[in-house]
Amino acid sequence: MKTARIISLIASTFYALLTIYFLSLILKTGSIFEDASVVVSPFRFYALLAMPFCLVLGALSFYFYLRDKERKDKIVKHAKIISLLLLIAPIVLYFFINIILLVLSLE
């Protein structure tokens, strides 16, 4: 379970850095569109920022859940698999969501 805790902590750190990067990207993009007087729907920007923020909360919640179970000397089955899925699956899903948003914006 210690490995699963480390993986979930790495996932939360990665997604926190991703959230900060997306926030800076949104601020830069918003200022560019504002300078060019282009009207852009802010929904895509909020969706871009909401996903990694929720993943930070989820990974940290799982980390503290595992820490609590370890203190009570209880074993969580499949903790490593869940931690790896929490780290890898959102990256793959995010890739496909971006492709879908790109296709929808081209129409």
Kindly tell me if the per-residue pLDDT of 49 is higher than 90.
Answer: no
For the whole model, what pTM was predicted?
0.75
AA letter at 89: A
Q: What is the pLDDT of residues 71-91, one digit of tens each?
A: 999 988 899 999 999 889 888
Structural domains in the chain (count): 1
Residues whose CB is less than 8 angstroms from the CB of residue 31 and which lie 6 or more positions away in sequence, other chains included: none
Angular region, 41: left φ>0, alpha ψ -120 to 50, beta rest:
beta
Instruction: Give me Rg for the CA atoms of the chain.
Output: 17
Boundaries of domain holding 45: 2-106
